[in-house]
Structure 1
Amino acid sequence: MRILSIGAHPDDTELMAAGTLAKYVEQGHEVVMCISCNGSQGHFEIPSAHLQCIRRREARQSAEIIGAECILLDLPDSGPWHTKEQRSLYTELVREVKPDVILTHYPVDYMSDHVETSRNTLEASFWAAVPLHLTGGQSTAHTHYPAVYYWEPLGGHNFQPSFYVDVTDQWEKKREMLLCHQSQYVWLRDHDGIDYVDFMAVMSHFRGLQCGVKYAEAFRPLHLWARSRAGRLLP
């Protein structure tokens, strides 16, 4: 299968789904990690133009750890959102990758970049398979609607998992991927008072306790017409 993750910022996917992506790769699937925003506002002191370069490098280093392709859409942090150009950009992404499964943010999250990335991903997963929906790009329409799974928001608030992925054997890779994002390790430590590696260890261990393993990541499927699938597509 071809797997596409779409996160708002560099490090978002790693926080909630790195173990799952690593497991997909280990099982022989192709993984593409897409990042919507350039991360230009995620620091106290580093100027935005320089920070974008740092975060691009960190994102690529993280993807390389599991052998995933990294695609950067380079949208600005904090919008503007809701544009036709953005919808075309996401639609063209799905047409280019032609995924069987998409992983992305839960529609209810703590900040707008996450919420709008989720919304744009949902719309693109439909329009990418409509041949007469024109984007100005060169990719052909997808042959089917991909299944969409939502990872949980940071902290797990108001999120009831439908599926768990055992990432016990992938935890060290997840940790290594998280540590690629040193700019964000410092930012979240100083701005939010958290060590995000410890934070993720606690969350993954809690989800693991719920399903009888040491570490797990949690997901909910998109249940809409043509998106629901029989059987399990998560690894």
Structure 2
Amino acid sequence: MTKRLLVVGAHAADFVWRAAGAIALATAQGAQATVLALSYGERGESGELWKEPGQTVERVKQIRHEQAERAAQILGAQFVCFDLGDYPLEIDRAALERLAAFIRDVGPDIIITHTPHDPFNPDHPVTHDAVMRARLLASGAGVASAFETVKPPVVYCFEPHQPELCGFTPNVFLDITPVYEQKIMAMQQIGSQQYLQHYYTELAERRGNHARRISGDATVRYAEAFQRITPAVVRWLPSHDEGEVSR
């Protein structure tokens, strides 16, 4: 069966910085990857665009959509945006039900999203909470339901900008060395946040160093860090050599 990956970000470009490597690896192995942005980040994530004279919200949204779509195409993923608005991002019942329906339609094996805490970004925790609630609704909260349900997806949090202040404790380091150039190309598409490109390039190198020390594998040059928050259900304890843990 084809694996399905769903990455849910608060803003249009969140997936590029934090999970582009994971997406590219998944699609390279034949998985289907979908990127969902709950907003375009037109208010709080598009500072470069607002420097242009006569700029408008609709134009910013259009540019952000085009940038994110190009980045997703480089990674082999589909990009979708709910356009719910940002700063603040608010999730009402209709938006929550829309998200749950989207999860049912995609039927992901894995969901990647934000951490539950971020003292510097008001939209990231809102997204995490919405994803977790929608996941439960889409999977029937673990019991038989009157609604169509999906198998409960495994959930990972991608690395926030300041992990030590967000309660982020990485327990998975993903070797993205084979697709590192794709991540660089994807990041280059987000001209509205050029200042983040250098930061996340350095982070991939630093996490690569951590992954080498943990695994002893000298071939790992670049990595992305994740925190798995749904427990693994296994029939044996996997070693470093086993790249996928069965559920």
> In which range does the TM-score fall when normalised by the shorter chain?
0.7 to 0.9
Residue segments in structure 1 that go unaligned for 5+ positions in a row: 134-140, 186-194
Q: Are 2:109 and 1:100 equivalent residues in the alignment?
A: yes
Percentage of matched positions with identical amino acids: 27
CA offsets, 1:87-111, max 9 Å, x none? 1121111011110100111111231
CA offsets, 1:155-186, max 9 Å, x none? 3324221000001121111111111111222x
Match of 2:181?
172
Distance across 1 between alignment mates of 2:245 and 2:181: 23
Match of 2:25?
23
Secondary structure of the corresponding residue to residue 186 of structure 2? helix
**Residue 47 (structure 1) shift:** 2.0
Larger Rg: 2
**Residue 50 (structure 1) shift:** 0.8
**C-alpha RMSD of the superposition:** 1.8
Residue among 142, 150, 166 paired with 2:149: 142
**Residue 70 (structure 1) shift:** 1.2
Q: Are 2:227 and 1:220 equivalent residues in the alignment?
A: yes
Q: Are 2:90 and 1:81 equivalent residues in the alignment?
A: yes
TM-score of the superposition, structure 1-length normalised?
0.85
CA offsets, 1:172-224, max 9 Å, x none? 11111111111222xxxxxxxxx32211111111111111121100011123x
Residue among 114, 127, 132 paired with 2:146: 132
Matched to 1:143, the amino acid is V
Q: Are 2:4 and 1:2 equivalent residues in the alignment?
A: yes
Residue among 116, 121, 125 paired with 1:111: 121
Alignment of 1:175-186 (within 5 A): 175-185=184-194
**Residue 233 (structure 1) shift:** 5.2
Matched to 2:27, the amino acid is V
Match of 2:216?
none
Is this contact kept in 2: 1:94–1:125, CA < 8 A?
yes
Give 4+ residue runs of structure 1 displaced > 4 Å after superposition: none
Is this contact kept in 2: 1:19–1:167, CA < 8 A?
yes
Match of 1:70?
79
Secondary structure of the corresponding residue to residue 76 of structure 1? coil
Secondary structure of the corresponding residue to residue 201 of structure 1? helix
Is this contact kept in 2: 1:78–1:113, CA < 8 A?
yes
Q: Count residues in correspondence.
A: 215
Distance across 1 between alignment mates of 2:188 and 2:201: 13
Distance across 2 between alignment mates of 1:209 and 1:55: 32
Distance across 2 between alignment mates of 1:53 and 1:233: 39
Is this contact kept in 1: 2:6–2:34, CA < 8 A?
yes
